[in-house]
Homo-oligomer: A and B are copies of this chain.
């Protein structure tokens, strides 16, 4: 039986999502709990994708296969008792045998949170990136609009990216203000390595006036990582939602 789970985590105390020898990772912690339930038989989980150290998730998705006759809805209760309080299985359901948490992704939404306070707020220090400079939000929205749609995002991906096809479609980039925070919401059909963090970093530099909104079009055309803005820090990033239809 294939089980599909939605999991939320606080990335602060993890060495990222993916299993790394000798490090605490989200995947490692869940696989350990699952293997315990399966009486020591190792159970692999497959997620929609990795997240880096410090990156949080509201709704990461993974699947695993089990022979145990446990109703799907019981899995969150069973697993949440065994894993740290900084991971929470939000829900579980039986998926078709052919379902694949990575290959079947249709769209993902990421959010990136900025703390605009003059001095970094202590209770947001692991959950939002402190950026106390004056930001022209309208300019940022204009730049964001240029990034929406289908583009080659080579300039907005890590120079280490090995993927050949770097054309992706962004459904929307919204820039929302809630009190002292600014939130970027980015939904698209696929994301290259560091893509959201480079988009966030570039939008911030548009906000401060370093780049004009229209310049992001030239950045896209350049197809060169050096053409776009900085990579914003990991701890402002949240994998918010993964959609399969």
Q: Enumerate chain A interface residues (CB-CB to B < 8 A).
A: 8-12, 56, 58, 76, 80, 85-91, 117-123, 125-127, 178, 238
Contact = CB atoms under 8 A, between A and B. Distances in A.
A151 to B, nearest CB: 30
A119 B8 contact: yes
A91 B118 CA distance: 9
By DSSP majority rule, is chain A's interface helix, strand, loop, or mixed? mixed
Contacts of A118: 90-91
Nearest to A58: B121
Name the residue among A86, A89, A122 with the largest chain B CB count within 10 angstroms. A122
Contacts of A9: 122-123
Given A10-B123, A10-B125, 20 more contacts: A8-B121, A8-B123, A9-B122, A9-B123, A12-B123, A58-B121, A76-B119, A86-B122, A86-B123, A86-B125, A87-B122, A88-B119, A88-B120, A88-B121, A88-B122, A89-B119, A90-B117, A123-B126, A123-B127, A123-B238
Nearest to A179: B178
B122 A85 contact: yes
Nearest to A9: B122
11 contacts: A8-B119, A10-B125, A56-B123, A58-B121, A86-B122, A86-B125, A88-B119, A88-B120, A90-B117, A123-B238, A178-B178
A125 B58 contact: no
Contacts of A90: 117-119
Contacts of A117: 90
Contacts of A120: 85, 88
Nearest to A76: B119
A206 to B, nearest CB: 26
Contacts of A121: 8, 58, 88
7 tightest Cβ-Cβ pairs between the two chains A and B: A10-B122, A10-B123, A86-B122, A88-B119, A90-B119, A88-B122, A56-B123
A126 B85 CA distance: 10
A10 B48 CA distance: 33
Instruction: Pick the most buried of A120, A121, A123: most chain B CB atoms within 10 A of its CB.
Output: A123
A14 to B, nearest CB: 10
Nearest to A83: B122
A25 to B, nearest CB: 14
